[in-house]
Structure 1
Amino acid sequence: MHFTLQKSEIAKKSSVKITGSKSESNRLLLLQALYPEFKLENVSNSDDSNLMTNALSSKSEIVDIHHAGTAMRFLTAYFSIQEGRETVLTGSKRMKERPIKILVEALQELGAEISYEENEGFPPIRISGKKLIKNKVSLKANVSSQYISALLLIGSKLENGIELTLEGEITSVPYIKMTLSLLDEIGFNTSFEHNIISVKPNTAQLKSKLLTVESDWSSASYYYSIAALSDVGTEITLSSYKQNSLQGDSALVEIYKHFGVSTVYNKNKITLKKEVSSLEQLSLDLKDAPDIAQTIAVTCFALGIPCDLVGLHTLKIKETDRLVALKTEIEKLGGEVEITDKSLYLKASKDINSMVSIATYNDHRMAMAFAPLALKTSLIVEDAMVVSKSYPTFYDDLESLGFEITK
C-alpha cells in the first residue's frame, strides 16, 4: 500500500508517546524466557518484538521470524541451549540472504549443534538444543554487535558462563554495553575490559522484579529530523526517555545540535526545540549508531547541507543494502550521492523534486527516514506500512503533528 504525504506544516507545539525500544525489548524478552522471575512493561509493539515473543513461546519445530534480523541472531543462540529441542529457524527471502555464519561458528565452538538447511552460512538453520560446557570463544570485533549480544544473553545460563575475545576494532559498542547493562540490572555478573567480555554463570535464585523498557531512540530520530526541518520555535515533546540512556542512538541529542535542535529533559520526557542553525557541512563517524544514518542523510539533503558519513559498513547487511538504497532514492529526489562499502557522501543540492515515489525495499527505516521530507515537498512512500516492523503507529503520530497523509 502506497501513502501520499502532501507538503505539510506542523503545529508549533506537539507531543508524541513512543513505544518501548525494540533493542531493549528483544533482549529482555529473551532473558525473561530464560528467567521467568521478572516482568516487563512498555515492551515495544513492533512486528520484530511481536515475532520475538511468538517465537519464544512457540512449540513448533519450524520457527519463522520473517524480516526480523535481531530475532534471527538472538534466537539462534537461545535455541542452541534448549536441551532436547530440535528447531528449524527460518525467515523471509531477504533473511535467507543475510549471513549468520559467524554466529553459528562461535556457537559451534562452544559445542552447539547447528547445521544449514539450504545455503552454507545463511538461514534457514537446524538447531539441536543441548547443554553447552565450553565457555571461551573468539570472533572478529567488527561484525554485527547482535552476534556478540546473542552470545552474551545466553552466557549466564551456561554452566561455566561465557568469555568472548573480540579481535580488532569493536563496532556498535553502545549496543554491547546495553546488553551488559541489562544483564547487570537483573543481577548477573559481567565485565568488559579491553577486548574481553565475560558473563559469569548464574548461581543464585533471582528475585522477582519489574523492568520498564525505555522508549526507542531510533524512533525518536524521525522527530529530530522533523524538528530540524521545521521553523525556529517549533517544539516536539516525546516520552518516555532517560538522560542516561543505554541506547546508542541517544547520540541524536548531540548530533542534532548541529541542525539547531536542542533537547530538554523533564522527568521521563524530552522536548526538542528548533533554534537557529548555521551548519554548512556535516562530517560524522556513525560506527556506534549506524541505524540513524538514513535519518541524518535525509535531513542533510532536505536542508541542502553536504555531509560525509563514515563507519557504515554494517548497513550493507541490514533489511536491504541501505547505502545503495539511500543513493538511489536521494538521487530520484534530485540529490547527488557517492558511496563506498562503508561511507556515504552527499553533495549540497538546492532543489527537491516533487511527488517522487520512494521505494522502501522491505526496510522500515527507509520509509520513516524519508517521511519528514513532506515538510519540504509532496512525496509518495511505497509499501508504507513496512514501518510496522518497528513503529506501527508512525503515520498516526505524524498526522497528530499536522502531516497530511492520504492512505
Structure 2
Amino acid sequence: MIEISAHQSPINNQLAVTGSKSESNRLLLLNQLFENVLKLENVSNSEDSQLMQKALANKTDLIDIHHAGTAMRFLTAYYSIQADREVTLTGSERMKQRPIKVLVDALNNLGAEISYQENEGFPPLQIKGKKLTQDSITIPSNISSQYITALCLVGTKLPTGLTINLDGKIISIPYIQMTIQLLNKVGINAVFEGNTITIPFTAAIQPQTLQVESDWSSASYYYSLIALSKNSEIKISTYFEDSLQGDSDLQKIYAENFGIDSNFENGVLTLKNNPEFQFKELIELNLINTPDIAQTIAATCVGLKLKCHLTGLETLKIKETDRLVALKNELEKFGAQISITDDALTIENYTSYTEIPTIETYNDHRMAMCMAPLAQLFTIRIKDEMVVEKSYPTFWEDWKQLGFEIKSI
C-alpha cells in the first residue's frame, strides 16, 4: 500500500505518456498477420502489450495472458486461423470469469474449432487452428468492441474476406472505427457502414513506419488532476488533434464540464484551467462511446463535490472487476452518496468524512489511477498500487515528477 500527498500547487510540468494500448495491440496483431512488415514506434509499454508480444512470439501449446483482456479476445481469433497449430489459451482467475462465448460462437460458426476446458462460455480455451471457409457472420452489436475488432483483424486473412453483420444497437463505436481506420492506414480497404463491416482478403501490405499515438485514457488522469488544481498546466506527449481514439472526447467533456482547455503543438498536448469557467449544478453524460474514462470522471466529480448522472456504462460490469460496484464502494469513502444501476452511476450528495481514505483496487489498473488525482486535495492510500503496470507502468514515477510524495505504508 502507498500513501500519496501533494507537495506543490500550482502544478507546471511536462511528461511523455506511453503509447495507446488499444492501438498498439491492434497493430501488433496486424503486424503478425502480415509477416512483420510494419515498423511500430511508441508502442505501449503496458503489461497488456508486453503480454501480447510474448504470446505472439510463443511457439509452445500453452499461452497464458494473465489479466490481458484485449490479448484474450484478439488471440482467440488469431489462433483459430493458424492451421495445423493447437493451443490452450488461458489467463488469471479473473480472466476465467470474463465471458467470451459470443466471440467463440462467432468463430465456430465461421468454421473454427474452439472448445472450453473448464466452464462453458469462459476461458481457458482449447483452440485447434484451421483454415476458415465461411465469409459472413451475424453477431449481437451490444457486446465488447474487442470481439468485433478480433473478427475484423483475422478477416483480412480469410480466403474471401469477411462480412460482419451487427445485430441491434452498437456500443463502443469509436473502438470499432479505430480498427477500421488502422486497417485503412496500412492499405486494407475495410468499410464500416450502418450495421455492416466489410473486410477484404488481403494477401500483403506495404512495409511502412507507424507511430502509435499516446493513450488518451491515460491522459484522463491529467485532465482530472488539472480540474482539481488551480492555475496549473501540464504538457503531455505524444497526442494528435485528429486522434483515432474515442477517449479523445476528453477534450470536449473536460472543457464543457470542468473548465479544462486543450491545446496541441507538434504532438504536445497542453492542459490548463480556464479561469472564467462556471460549474454546472449537475453533470449529465452518456459515456456509451467512452466507458474507459467513466471512473476518472466520477472521481473528478467527487473531488469537486459535484453531482453527476453518468449513463452508457453497461460494459463496466465485465471489465477487470465490476467497475460500477467498485466505484460506489471506493468513492463513498470520500463522503459521496452514490447509486448505481446496470448501466448508470449517480452521485446524489455528499457528507463529511474524517479518516484518510484507503482505496481498494480490485486488480483493476484504472481504479488505482482514477483515484490518484484526489491526492491533490487529500492524503489518500492505495492498495496493490502496481496494478497500474497493466496499462501505464511508469505512472507513479510520473506522479513523483509532478511533485507528489508517494511512500510505502
TM-score class, shorter-chain normalisation, is over 0.9
- In structure 2, the residue matched to 1:59 is 59
**Structural mapping, 1:168-187, within 5 Å:** 168-187=168-187
Tell me whether 372-381 or 205-214 shows the greater mean CA deviation.
205-214
Deviation at 1:335, TM superposition (A): 1.1
CA distance in 1, matches of 2:367, 2:60: 33
Shift of 1:281: 1.6
Aligned pairs for 1:272-311 (under 5 A) are 272-276=271-275, 277-279=277-279, 280-311=281-312
Q: Deviations over 1:73-98 (max 9, x none)?
A: 00000000111000100000000000
User: For residues 97 and 224 of structure 1, what CA distance do their matches in structure 2 show?
Assistant: 32
Amino acid at match of 1:150: A
SS of 1:6's equivalent?
strand
Instruction: Give the corresponding residue for 1:19.
Output: 18
Partner residue, 1:340: 341
Q: How far apart are the structure 2 equivalents of 1:224 and 1:351?
A: 25
- Alignment deviations for residues 118-146 of structure 1 (CA, whole Å, 9 cap, x no partner): 00000000000011110100111110000
TM-score, with length taken from structure 2: 0.97
Given that residues 356 and 380 in structure 1 are in contact (C-alpha distance below 8 angstroms), is that contact kept between their aligned partners in structure 2?
yes
Q: Give the gaps of 5 or more residues in structure 1.
A: none
Do the aligned partners of 1:116 and 1:122 also contact (CA within 8 Å) in 2?
Answer: yes
Cα pair 1:302 1:352 within 8 Å, conserved: no
* Deviations, residues 164-194 of structure 1 (Å, cap 9, x unaligned): 1001110000000000111001111111111
Q: Cα deviation per residue 1:329-352 (whole Å; 9 max; x = unaligned)?
A: 011221111000100001232645
Q: Is the 8 A contact 1:352 1:377 kept in 2?
A: no
**RMSD (Å), alpha carbons:** 1.0
Letter in 2 for 1:15: Q
Q: SS state of the match for residue 346, structure 1? A: strand
Correspondence for 2:219: 220
Structure 2 CA distance for aligned equivalents of residues 198 and 104 of structure 1 = 20
The structural deviation recorded for 1:355 is 1.4
Is the 1:354–1:377 contact (alpha carbons within 8 Å) kept by the matching residues of 2?
no
- The answer on whether the counterparts of 2:6 and 2:403 sit within 8 Å (CA) in structure 1 is no
**Which residue of 2 is the match for residue 355 of structure 1?**
356
Amino acid at match of 1:152: C
Aligned pairs (5 A) from 1:175-214:
175-203=175-203, 205-214=204-213
TM-score, normalised via structure 1 length: 0.98
- Percent identical pairs in the alignment equals 54
The amino acid of 1:293's aligned partner reads A
Secondary structure at 1:152 match in 2: helix
C-alpha contact (below 8 Å) 1:354/1:379 kept by paired residues:
no
Q: Deviations over 1:47-87 (max 9, x none)?
A: 00000000000011110000010000000000001110001
Give the distance between the partners of 1:19 and 1:340, measured in 2 at CA.
Answer: 33
1:129 maps to amino acid: G
- Seen in structure 2, the aligned counterparts of structure 1 residues 397 and 135 have a Cα distance that, compared at 3 Å, is same
Matched letter for residue 210 of structure 1: T
Matched, 1:135 2:135: yes
CA contact (8 A) 1:163 1:197 kept: yes
SS at match of 1:4: strand
Give the number of aligned pairs: 404
Q: C-alpha separation between the residues in 2 aligned to 1:302 and 1:27?
A: 35
- Counterparts in 2 of 1:337 and 1:140: CA distance versus 1, 3 Å: same
User: 2-side partners of 1:66 and 1:136: how far apart?
Assistant: 31
**Other-structure match for 1:248:** 246
1:38 to partner: Cα distance: 1.4
Q: CA deviation at 1:353?
A: 4.4
Cα distance in 1, alignment partners of residues 189 and 263 from structure 2: 34
Q: Is the 8 A contact 1:139 1:167 kept in 2?
A: yes
| Residue of structure 1 equivalent to 2:114 | 114
1:344-394 C-alpha deviation (Å, 9 max, x unpaired): 001232645441110000000000000111011111100001000000000
Could you list the per-position Cα deviations for residues 260-313 of structure 1 after superposition, in whole angstroms to 9, with x for gaps in the alignment? 100011110110011233212210000000000000000001101001000000
Aligned equivalent of 2:237:
239
1:366: which partner in 2? 367
Distance in 1 between residues matched to 2:355 and 2:133, nearest whole Å: 60
CA distance in 2, matches of 1:193, 1:185: 17
Give the aligned partner of residue 149 of structure 1. Answer: 149
1:59 alignment partner AA: K
Structure 2 unmatched ranges of 5 or more: none
Match in the other structure for 2:94: 94
Q: C-alpha displacement at 1:256, in angstroms?
A: 0.3
Answer whether contact 1:99 1:122 (CA < 8 A) is retained. Answer: yes
Other structure's SS at 1:336 match: strand
Question: Cα distance 1:165–1:193, how it changes in 2: closer, same or farther (>3 A)?
Answer: same
Equivalents in 2 of 1:370, 1:208: separation in Å?
42
Q: Residue 375 of structure 1 aligns with which residue?
A: 376
Q: CA distance change for structure 1 residues 237 and 79 in 2, over 3 Å: closer, same or farther?
A: same
Amino acid at match of 2:191: S
Separation in 2, partners of 1:88, 1:12: 48
> Are the equivalent residues in 1 in contact too, given 2:38–2:210 (CA < 8 A)?
yes
Deviation at 1:12, TM superposition (A): 3.5
Distance 2:140 2:354 in 1: 43
Q: Is the 8 A contact 2:333 2:353 kept in 1?
A: no
> How far is the alpha carbon of 1:9 from its aligned partner?
3.1
Q: Residue 8 of structure 1 contacts residue 374 of structure 1 at CA under 8 Å; is this kept in 2? A: no
Post-superposition shift, 1:234?
0.9
Residue type matched to 2:253 in 1? I
Tell me which amino acid in the other structure corresponds to 1:266.
E
Give the 3-state SS of the residue equivalent to 1:188 in structure 2. Answer: coil
